[in-house]
Structure formats: C-alpha cells, structure tokens
Amino acid sequence: MNDSGSAPESKVDSVRELLTLDELTSRVGMSVRNIRFYTTKGLVPPPIRRGRSGYYSPDHVSRLELVQELQAHGFTLSAIEKYLAGIPADATPEDIALHRTMLAPWQADVPVEMSRAELEKRTGRSLSEDDLATLSALGIVFRTKRGRYEVAVSQLSVGLGLLDLGFPLEAAIAAGEVYADHGRQIAKELNELFRTMVWPVYKESGAPPQKLREVVERIKPLSIASLVAAYEAAMDETRREEIAARSRRTAKRAAKD
C-alpha cells in the first residue's frame, strides 16, 4: 500500500470516476465504520485528497469487494491481511478482479434482491437486455418471477468489467455450463470424501455433526488455494503442450520444404 496518505499520482490521473464516502458505502454495501477500519488496517489505500475532501476510485471499490469475498469464504482478518499483502500496491482493479474471479466459483454468496432501478444505481450505468442476459449467464444477476433481480453483489464488479471488455454472451453461457458441470462433480467427490473418510473419524470419537460443519468451514480457504494452484498448473501445462505442438508442426513443415 502507499504510505504517503494519498493514492499514487499515476492512478489518480487515470481515474474517470471518483466517489464520495457516502457513494462508496452505497456501491459496496459496507458501513463507513468498516471502510475506515479497513483503511486503518492498510487493506485499502487512503482516500484521494481533493482539497479538504477525500474521494475513492475503482481501486478502492475492487479491494473492498475482495475483502468481502474473502470474508465470505471464511478468511480471518489476519488471513485477509496476508492474502492482500501478496497483491502489488500498483495492481489495477482488473488485476484484483482476476483474484476475485478465481474465487468466484466457490462463493456461497447470498443474493441481494433489488429493482431494475436499484440495480442500475448500484452499477452506475444503464443495463441493456443483452447486458442482463450476460450477467445472468455468468451467475451474477437473476430475474425473479416478480420482475425484480437477485444479485450476487460481491461478483457484480467482475461482471461489469467483462461487459466493458465486450465479453460475448455465448461465451458467458458456455463458461457458466463449464463451471456448473465441474462444480457439481467437485462437490460430489468432496462430499463423498468427507462422508467416507472424515465423518467416520469424528463420529467414532463421539464428536457431534456440528464439528464436521466447522471443519468444512475452516478448510474452505485451503480448498480454494489448492484449486487455484491446480488450475494455474493445468493452464501452464496446457500452454507448454500448445507451444510444443506448434514447434512440431513448424519443424515438419520445414522438413518438407
């Protein structure tokens, strides 16, 4: 984090939208007290000063939303501090959104119901039907039977970032199917593991079912870290295989010539 009492000038110059403290609390759904506490702890940068007033940038929004995400996964304050310490101080909101995206499939997020007007106020933009369809395919916004919307607030900024990047609706639908298919399989296998290998041990010792629930909650951060590490290793292996395949094709063409 920057210790000078204000955000780096390079970031300030690139900010297109600055929020007041009240606007920030509305955007992230967090109290003034909590925001100031996290700022004091160094989890988010201090406000950007404009005369006597302090303002907040997309960087503040993304870091606060990451804090919320980690809390939802059961991270303690100490664990959150260690996690954020690994993110460079000059990380962009997009960089931070990537961290949140990696956590997203395992988020047990409680949706917040709101009207179309409330949703657009929260996002700070007008949302088209295609935008809403993409956010729905990504598992972030769902239309209810009453014409309102259930919103996974902690994932909203990630979805908006993808909309800004022109993420195709078809790709969002396909990605949602991949997450659902693999998520169900992982959940099934982990449930079987806990049922056959973990619970019998605690049951034999006379521990109540609540004990197993506590174990599951405490192991969440480790599960997330392991899955992220496995995903990154698989991606690296896939890239190496693709590079090797291209090299072989190039060598074959050169041999023919």
pLDDT score recorded for residue 118: 92
Identify the DSSP state of 43. Answer: S
What angle do helix axes 153-164 and 93-103 make, rounded to 10 degrees?
120
At 70-98, the pLDDT tens digits run 887 667 788 788 888 878 878 877 677 66
Cα(19)–Cα(226) distance, rounded to whole angstroms? Answer: 36
Q: CB under 8 Å to 43, separation ≥6 — which residues?
A: 63, 67, 80, 81, 84
pLDDT score recorded for residue 217: 66
Q: Out of 5-9, 198-202, 249-253, pick the least confident.
A: 5-9
Listed residue (171, 98, 165, 109) closest to 137, CA to CA: 171
Task: Name residue 150's beta-bridge partners.
Answer: 113, 142
State the residue for tokens 């993808």: 162
Cα(213)–Cα(158) distance, rounded to whole angstroms? Answer: 30
At 104-160, the pLDDT tens digits run 444 445 678 889 999 999 898 999 999 999 999 888 898 888 889 988 887 888 889
Cα(152)–Cα(107) distance, rounded to whole angstroms? Answer: 9
At 22-71, the pLDDT tens digits run 999 998 889 999 999 999 998 898 999 888 888 998 889 889 988 888 88
Average the pLDDT over 176-181 and give the result: 81
Put residue 5 in one of left, alpha, beta given phi > 0 → left and psi -120 to 50 → alpha. Answer: left
Hey, how many other C-beta atoms are within 10 angstroms of the C-beta on 19?
21
Give whole-number Cα distances, 15 to 93, 126, 146, 154, 243, in Å. Answer: 11, 20, 37, 22, 38
**CB contact at 8 A, 96 and 1:** no
Cα(98)–Cα(243) distance, rounded to whole angstroms? Answer: 24
**CB contact at 8 A, 113 and 148:** yes
Listed residue (86, 97, 6, 91) closest to 45, CA to CA: 6
State the residue for tokens 């700070």: 124
Entry field: residues in the chain: 257
